[in-house]
Chain A
Amino acid sequence: MKFVAVTSCPTGIAHTYMAAEALQLAAKEMGHEIKVETQGSVGAENVISKEDLTQAQGVIIAADTAVDKSRFAGMNVIEVSVKEAINDAQGLITKAAHAPQNSKNLVDQVNQLKAEEKDSRTGIYKHLMTGVSFMIPFVVAGGLLIAIGFAIGGIYVFNSPGSIGETLFSTGKAAFALMIPILGAYIAFSIADRPGIVPGMVGGFIAANTGSGFIGALVAGFAAGYLVLAIKKYIILPKSLQGLMPVLIIPLISTAIIGLGMVYIVGKPMASFNIALGTWLTSLNGTNAAMLGIILGLMMAFDMGGPLNKAAYTFATATVVSGQPSAVMAAVMVAGMTPPLGLALSTVLTKKKYTLAEREAGKAAWVLGLSFITEGAIPFAAADPLRVIPSIMVGSGVAGAISMIFGSKITVPHGGIWVLAIPNVVTHLWPYIIALVAGTVVTALIVSALKKPVEQ
């Protein structure tokens, strides 16, 4: 018969492994097979797989710590203290062997298969959420500090280095600079534990610097995580060199591969794409105003700080440098405000579709959106890109189009709602506010309808 077991003790240095060894010795002697997962201070090793679970007749948990039993639902579980396994492993296995077997009928099997399918889905979802939950505080702290910096020092705060306003602004920028690498790092961490952090973080950093933004970091995080798992599995060193794996081999190889990949496979095409994009946008100048508003809106919302967003924003700032009121800049700004605002509204409208952390991030997203800090939407987009990104794109497209149609113009490249109060900064103010509200509501309605309730 085959069994699976988990051993774990408070310090995780000795008893965990003694119990594991005792169970393995006893099983061997009794002619059974057993796989023992040790949850010690070096993390979980010899982890029980899905196949093990389907083959196992019973589960032995020998632990003095809290062991997650959810994956053993429906199986015969014997729970004892870790010392019992050390002292009477044979007795435990006998007990497990004689426990009444659950008869598995067809319905159960089908249900189990469904559950497994769902598990693998929640796997990727879990990795995303881990990355996002670590990123949220960076977005919130960074965004609010940038907004406070603007509030203290005005919209050209970055021109007075050393002032309190500029320092807060720069501190916020620093948090923003870290947020993309953190996203990559903790997606990889969720997949591959601690060794995932280095390649994930470096990959995310390169994504931020080579213009692929948070979407590049998502790619880097997943690639780094699975790459580390593959290295662990396929690179087998002689025993005497195994100590080198965690400190040298894994970090070196995984980071090198991710770096090369992010630069040559993701970064290079991205750079030429950016150039092409800029040329194309310039050629659009003077075409149908509403169409240009929609295109700029879609670009602003697509990747929030990524290449499309940057291209649209750079294109727009070029139109205000001379101090002339610019309709393009106005459209770009309003389109950059609606994603966080729409998502913030959605977290209020449909609470059940957001995790607690996301609802908290939603509160900050109000301020970030009003301040034209589009990045406030990134945590939501990273967690559920396929539903969130299209929604915010539509909302931003609507906002951009309305702004262009009414010919609202703005004379400054930043500032969000706070500059609207200043006389003559924005022309056609009321249509502009309508564009903002309409974009926000459209975003919120679509994303609220598309998102699924949070899986517990």
Chain B
Amino acid sequence: MRITELLANESILLNSKAQKKEEVWEILANNLKEIGAVSDVAKYLEDVAARERKGTTGVGFGVAIPHAKSEAVIRPALVMARLEEPVDVQSLDGSQADLFFLIAAPLQGEDIHLRALSKLARMLMHGSFLESLRAAKTPEEIKEAIEVNES
């Protein structure tokens, strides 16, 4: 399964003006609800916060990948936000994050979806990929960048 199958165009939010990571989570979680991937936003956010308490998902390089396996998730999905002003996510490298990927995984995740997400995680370690995400002007360009790097 390709990553872009998990990431709908309307789930790519460029130029977000959110000021805090919790605000980003909420915007993205509501988007998951709108596309029908999450049934209960409050419950899902609770699980995301619980995961975050186990250790920050601010992975450095300006990237944050909050995520949760949650019973509130109906189907696996990915939403992305690019912030105009980076916010603090307690990254280990001290950087502030401007690229957010929120991952929704159902409790009984199927391998093919999890594999797609693990591919995305690997791609985030490549500087050139992050550059193209930051340079993209439209959701289509984001997906293009993902597809180029995926193959």
Q: Which of A's residues lie within 8 Å of B, judged by CB? A: 10-18, 20-22, 25, 38, 40-42, 64, 81, 83-84, 86-87, 239, 243, 246-247
Contact = CB atoms under 8 A, between A and B. Distances in A.
B51 interface: yes
For the complex of A and B, the 7 pairs showing the least CB-CB separation, nearest first, are: A21-B122, A17-B121, A17-B118, A21-B125, A14-B121, A243-B112, A18-B121
B142 to A, nearest CB: 18
A387 to B, nearest CB: 40
Given A18-B59, A64-B55, A11 B121 contact: no
A20 B115 contact: no
B111 interface: yes
Contact of B60 (A16, A17, A87): A87
A399 B54 CA distance: 63
A423 B35 CA distance: 76
A367 to B, nearest CB: 38
Contacts of A246: 111-112
B72 to A, nearest CB: 15
Contacts of A86: 59-60, 92, 125
Contacts of A64: 54-55
Given A11-B51, A18-B125, A83 B59 contact: yes
A273 B98 CA distance: 73
B69 interface: yes
Interface in B99-141: 103, 105, 109, 111-112, 114-115, 117-126
A14 B111 contact: no
Contacts of A40: 114, 118
Interface residues of B, number: 32
Contacts of B122: 17-18, 20-21
Contacts of A87: 60, 92-93
Interface string B82-107: 00000000001100000000010100
Interface in B1-30: 1
B146 interface: no
Contacts of A83: 55-56, 59, 92
B112 A38 contact: no
B126 A42 contact: no
18 contacts: A11-B67, A11-B69, A12-B114, A13-B118, A14-B59, A17-B119, A17-B121, A18-B124, A21-B122, A22-B125, A41-B105, A41-B109, A81-B55, A83-B55, A86-B60, A87-B92, A87-B93, A243-B115
Given A11-B69, A41-B114, 12 more contacts: A10-B54, A11-B105, A12-B114, A13-B69, A13-B114, A14-B57, A16-B121, A18-B121, A22-B125, A25-B125, A86-B125, A246-B111
Contacts of B45: none
B65 interface: yes
B33 to A, nearest CB: 20
Contacts of B54: 10, 64
A108 to B, nearest CB: 37
Interface in B38-75: 51, 54-57, 59-60, 65, 67-69
Contacts of A20: 122
B65 to A, nearest CB: 5
B108 to A, nearest CB: 11
Contact of A16 (B56, B118, B120, B123): B118
A21 B115 contact: no
Contacts of A81: 55
Contacts of B56: 83
B59 A42 contact: no
A128 to B, nearest CB: 27
A240 to B, nearest CB: 8
A239 B151 CA distance: 9
B112 A21 contact: no
A12 B122 CA distance: 13
A243 B1 contact: yes
Contacts of A13: 67, 69, 103, 105, 114, 117-118, 121
Contacts of B103: 13-14
